[in-house]
Structure 1
């Protein structure tokens, strides 16, 4: 049956692990028919030299500003005007851009923080502020992809929906009784799978070449908790299609070419996955930063660009976990790394399909795939010496040695076992737990997904994962410290922010390619869901 074609026999071969790939043109990520959304071009493709000048000359401090601007004319008309005017003595680049592009849409909400509100009242008031209406379309030359239903954006510079953020936002919507908005967002993501072939990083043209951590099965699970188990049947075609996207190219992997797209063949013949963006040019939204990184690296520009883009697909953009030297982004090697977080989420996707697919043979096939993945994760990604699930460099055939909170994912999806969960709990308590919650890694590299920063999704998954294995004491300590940190910041600035400094709770979080953002979707969601766990109720 076509539904079980993804299952390959596992051949046990004694070969060294590697991430050698087929030629980059050989296996496209998607062979689906071209459709309107998928066919839209990103600003760097549409505006060529003009785009490069705007980004490299930094006429806007944030590289995301220009790619979110709305063209007032067709790309052909704009580029014709640019070709005619750029050589003029009085040509001024920013004036030209402002003549031919409108600023990014930032709806006026009329909202202002009210210090008299409790933190939960503040969050519940924000849902309407962060919600964008269905159908917003800036035209084929604009970067925004229209969606059929309303959706929640994170906030700040993030004016579009984001894939993995949205799961944690939904936790808060569920806690606040915003059930229709949960359905709207799940339907939007199903629509993107149908139209594009996968859920992009976000609903922008410049995100079409990559996805983000695959949380769709968990979103469907949230909706099923609200509406009932029939939801699984409604969205089963999209669950299967998402799995097909992440497993695309599995038929092409071999002993000599062990890595194709997201799929990597391990030495024993089992299959695991990596992050992989099909693009090979600097990210449009971070063009200048990527160009400078590529120059500094002295390496093949297309390979470095792919590593950077794949790091963005991971959601951890960026962390030293992706760097060969553990320090410098110029050494980034994302596609060489088999991460426990991605493979845990794919295990969850496979178990979900296996548990709910109406065809018995297909359900059994996905259950077998999940069991095989679990065995491979436990074999290759568990490091007994460090007591953690670790990133495995498949090019070098060894662990990276870089400990991060990715170790909690196998607990979160119940892939682990009681003994290893207890060991992870001890590791978190001894090395990761700080006054304000869990630090993301054990090193401060000036990257935002490292110490001293703590991130809402990782706090929730650590808490929930430990609870899954009755490691309740550490779990509760994490929850209380994180909520206290959120409340302290709220008392000081009347805001919920994207990430928090967990080591020095008097300081703001930092690092990364942009300032700390407020809003903020997943912070709101995790706080409300954690508060729901509290015997005292919503604070």
Structure 2
């Protein structure tokens, strides 16, 4: 076995000088170097490392050793020539999850202070907001105030939208679960999406946990569920993310799926009992309150209950919407924003616009023309599918684990109670959201009493939890696959539904031509549920091929999303593409993208994995 004993700095400098011709501290197919670097092995034989992929692997191995504090390193040839699929999966398992793991103790909070979203607060103390009832957290953060330049503030017992708005000028971090062991306080860990998303997000956390469980990191997935529980018990909901401006916003509900999948491994009945009570509480208080997230027809909607302009958006994001109103009263956009936010100006149109805009963000699909301008009026098919899954999970866990009797809040729940709710929801989803003419599931506007004509990847989600009949599933596969399948997997929408893109009508990141990990993962499972194994294998291959090819060509890049039409990470809609901005080596990848890779490999047949390593184009296989 060839082993190269290398001086790290000397080799790095030579390698980059020769091969990194565009100076971005990466080696990619866009560099114009000779793509051949000469090394000498320990036995004195010469070896030439050839090709973008092998050279970037050499760069990464050198940097890993450098970050470990070494000045020299022995690199075996098999690390440089490692098959792409093995390398990507290994990097996710051994490095990226660690790079994405955070906690809300002293060590973790110190990392948050350097977050780019806190740059405006550098001259001040970073606010950490603590729930009214959590004495342990409040007292702990008070002791850290001077040491870490933070300011601990206790939230009121009643957190209203009006109160949340008062925090918008001084946004901060919301505490998560702390535990005291042997007199030492430690934060319960969580995984962040990556890049500028340096908090615990709602539905990201579930999809990340799928990858964590596959990679044997059960304790970390369990910790994610424990933090979900903390949020429900202390903030009233699973949060969009643990920042102050998200206090009035939840995200797509996957809590029962997470606790069920963790329990299947741990078999910890006491833990499940505790979490099941919290999940029932979330179901009843967040989702089933009439007039809020429950509509008059019995189906659910998203409803972010904040006030004013969402403070997390970049400066200028709403200028096109605000300019006509500012012009009308002869003031600048900045002045108009100030007067609207503090109540000097009333604007019913903007009140409604921002209600829907915040609700789009609560849905997780921020943003898409599928839901822009009317999100709070829509019974989204995927939301009602997720709540159907809650009802089924409650029924099956109570029957199988708790002998068909579960006590909570002086009430005894049985499986039949939840099965009746699930059956009722199934009937409603099929009544309002099934379009028999087109053979697709669509969203329903409960205000206008009409079905949406927008065709999106979410049409597949009823297959994920078996709410569709076999005939409906066959119709969706027949009708939706040809519309949404692209080179790299399933697009967020059809091009026709998205419509024309202009300067006045810019591209939205959840629409065509982009594809997202949570859609793919749910679709794969849904297809397997209905015996569509070949279709599932093809979609998995297309998605993993795209990730693998981009990682091979671009120094291990694994970003937030992809353009699945061109099968590239070069996505420029709205906020760019998180996970592409790094030097030398990605230390994180991107949370749910990492998980989708591990999940896809776990499902893909061995014969396709070999073709994946050879980077054989999907069109040559299927």
Q: Give the TM-score of the pair, scaled to structure 2.
A: 0.63
Are 1:186 and 2:205 an aligned pair? no
- State the 1:397 CA deviation: 1.0
Are 1:389 and 2:441 an aligned pair? yes
Structure 1 partner of 2:311 = 284
* Equivalent of 2:474 in 406, 422, 436: 422
Distance 1:428 1:115 in 2: 41
1:404-443 → structure 2 map (5 Å cutoff):
404-443=456-495
Going from structure 1 to structure 2, the CA distance change for 1:237 and 1:175 (only over 3 Å counts) comes to same
Structure 2 partner of 1:26 = none
Determine if contact 1:115/1:491 at 8 Å carries over to the other structure: no
Distance 1:495 1:489 in 2: 7
Are 1:261 and 2:310 an aligned pair? no
- Residue 299 of structure 2 aligns to a residue whose secondary structure is strand
Structure 2 partner of 1:122 = 91
Distance 2:102 2:550 in 1: 26
- Residue 219 of structure 1 aligns to a residue whose secondary structure is helix
1:326-365 → structure 2 map (5 Å cutoff):
332-357=373-398, 358=402, 359=405, 362-363=413-414, 364-365=416-417
- State the 1:512 CA deviation: 2.3
Structure 2 partner of 1:504 = 566
Structure 1 partner of 2:553 = 492
* Equivalent of 1:246 in 260, 277, 286: 286
- State the 1:429 CA deviation: 2.4
Structure 2 partner of 1:202 = 241
Distance 1:245 1:297 in 2: 39
- State the 1:366 CA deviation: 2.1
Determine if contact 2:489/2:542 at 8 Å carries over to the other structure: yes
Going from structure 1 to structure 2, the CA distance change for 1:161 and 1:243 (only over 3 Å counts) comes to same
Deviations 1:405-464 (A, max 9, x none): 111111101111111011111123211111111111002551000010010110111111
Deviations 1:110-138 (A, max 9, x none): 599x9766111221211111111243354
Distance 1:362 1:221 in 2: 18
Deviations 1:210-250 (A, max 9, x none): 10000111111220122127253231111111101333532
Deviations 1:172-216 (A, max 9, x none): 111111111011111111111111111010111111111000011
Structure 2 partner of 1:530 = 600
- Residue 173 of structure 2 aligns to a residue whose secondary structure is coil
Distance 2:396 2:320 in 1: 45
Distance 1:407 1:174 in 2: 27
Which residues of structure 1 form unaligned runs of 5+? 1-108, 251-259, 324-331
Structure 2 partner of 1:311 = 360
Going from structure 1 to structure 2, the CA distance change for 1:309 and 1:355 (only over 3 Å counts) comes to same
Are 1:147 and 2:176 an aligned pair? yes
- Residue 449 of structure 1 aligns to a residue whose secondary structure is coil
* Equivalent of 1:133 in 92, 97, 103: 103
Going from structure 1 to structure 2, the CA distance change for 1:296 and 1:400 (only over 3 Å counts) comes to farther
Determine if contact 1:263/1:273 at 8 Å carries over to the other structure: yes
- Residue 509 of structure 1 aligns to a residue whose secondary structure is coil
Distance 2:81 2:191 in 1: 25
Q: Give the TM-score of the pair, scaled to structure 1.
A: 0.72
- State the 1:353 CA deviation: 1.4
- In terms of fraction of residues, the more strand-rich structure is 2
Are 1:272 and 2:299 an aligned pair? yes
Determine if contact 1:509/1:516 at 8 Å carries over to the other structure: no
Distance 2:260 2:522 in 1: 15
Determine if contact 2:571/2:577 at 8 Å carries over to the other structure: no
- Matched positions, count: 409
Q: Which segment drifts farther, 171-180 or 502-511?
A: 502-511
Q: Select the structure with the greater relative contact order (CA < 8 A; seq sep ≥ 6).
A: 1
Determine if contact 2:202/2:238 at 8 Å carries over to the other structure: yes
Going from structure 1 to structure 2, the CA distance change for 1:382 and 1:513 (only over 3 Å counts) comes to same
* Equivalent of 1:175 in 185, 210, 214: 214
Going from structure 1 to structure 2, the CA distance change for 1:211 and 1:116 (only over 3 Å counts) comes to farther
Determine if contact 2:202/2:252 at 8 Å carries over to the other structure: yes
Distance 2:513 2:472 in 1: 26
Deviations 1:93-119 (A, max 9, x none): xxxxxxxxxxxxxxxx9599x976611
Going from structure 1 to structure 2, the CA distance change for 1:274 and 1:296 (only over 3 Å counts) comes to farther
Which residues of structure 2 form unaligned runs of 5+? 1-65, 70-78, 110-127, 129-149, 154-169, 178-187, 326-347, 407-411, 502-506, 581-588, 614-622
Distance 2:605 2:249 in 1: 41
Distance 1:474 1:297 in 2: 49
Q: Which segment drifts farther, 272-281 or 353-362?
A: 353-362
